[in-house]
Amino acid sequence: MPNSTNSGVVMSLAGKVALITGGSRGIGAATVRLFHQAGAKVVFSYRTSAQQAEALVQECGGPQFCRAIQQPLYTPEDGQALVIAAIAAFGSLDCAILNHGIWPSHDAPIATMTTAQWRDTLGTNLDSVFGVVRAAVAQMQSQPLMNGVRGHIVLVSSTAGQRGEAFHADYAATKGALISLTKSLSSELIGQGIHCNCVAPGWVATEMSSDVLSNPETSKKLLSLIPLGRAAHVDEIAAPILFLCTPLAGFISGEIFNVNGGAVLAG
């Protein structure tokens, strides 16, 4: 007979500390909420959205459970400073979620793309990621193995990193680099108990994509390429990120986890 007291499968991160970059809005804010609900203490970064950041901290129970750190992320040193602040907040680091990034919404043909735009996108989407990962790994390596695990790193890439994106070569290049970084980190670190995986969303309804998705003509064209026929909700990206940091994903490392509504990618 079925066990009537079975309350279902629980994805718990009780007693863990998570750092989530770009956590005040969109996918990041949804991930902060979900990790808090799973029992983790959460530190998240933001750049300018102070009111939204403070509201999210209060929503998650206040500074005893959740901290917001205003930290620009352009350089490796910026990333290192954020990790130092996160460790100071709660004393350890078990999960590092690299979610921050920029996507210049205007079309920029490669023949006329400015060096400033290229450097800005690479600085934010790649250089600062290196700084966070470097410091997070160093911290995790100093922590004891717990059930064979020292920590989890999840990089947020994009379908653009797999199939490219015309007129957005800067963005696609950085997201493709995160996929390669994921595989490199997994090969290097899994033997030390540090799991590294990547979530690659397709189109997601966020503030960053709102201009494109609110344009009827552009939106119709984009959604026609998604078999599910719609953009993702932020919670549908946050949930796979959480899963990859739980014991349920204990045999997964180096994976590129596609979350794209059935827009299967070739190559």
pTM, two decimals, is: 0.91
Mark the ranges of the chain whose per-residue pLDDT is less than 50.
1-2, 266-267
Can you give the pLDDT at residue 230? 83
The sign of the dihedral angle between the CA atoms of 17, 11, 101, 30 is negative
β-pairing verdict for 66-70 and 41-46: parallel
Can you give the pLDDT at residue 10? 82
Of the candidates 97, 30, 37, 45, which has an alpha carbon nearest to the alpha carbon of residue 233?
A: 30
Give φ, ψ of 70 to 5 degrees.
Answer: -80, 115
Give φ, ψ of 204 to 5 degrees.
Answer: -130, 140
The structure tokens 């994903």 sit at: 249
**Packed helices 115-122 and 169-189: angle between N→C axes, nearest 10 degrees:** 30
**Is 46 known to be catalytic?**
no
Strand order in the sheet with 194-201: 66-70, 41-46, 17-20, 95-98, 151-156, 194-201, 256-259
- The answer to whether the CB of 32 falls within 8 A of the CB of 61 is no
Looking at 3.40.50.720, 3.30.365.10, 3.40.50.920, 3.40.50.2300, the CATH number of the domain 17-259 comes to 3.40.50.720
The sign of the dihedral angle between the CA atoms of 208, 223, 35, 151 is negative
Which residue in the list 35, 103, 171, 257 is annotated as catalytic?
171
Can you give the pLDDT at residue 232? 85
Of the candidates 181, 144, 151, 130, which has an alpha carbon nearest to the alpha carbon of residue 244?
A: 151
The structure tokens 């990206």 sit at: 237
Q: Give the C-alpha separation, 25 to 45, whole Å.
A: 10
Can you give the pLDDT at residue 68? 98
Of the candidates 24, 27, 101, which has an alpha carbon nearest to the alpha carbon of residue 60?
A: 24
pLDDT tens digits along 88-123: 999 999 999 999 999 998 999 999 999 999 999 999
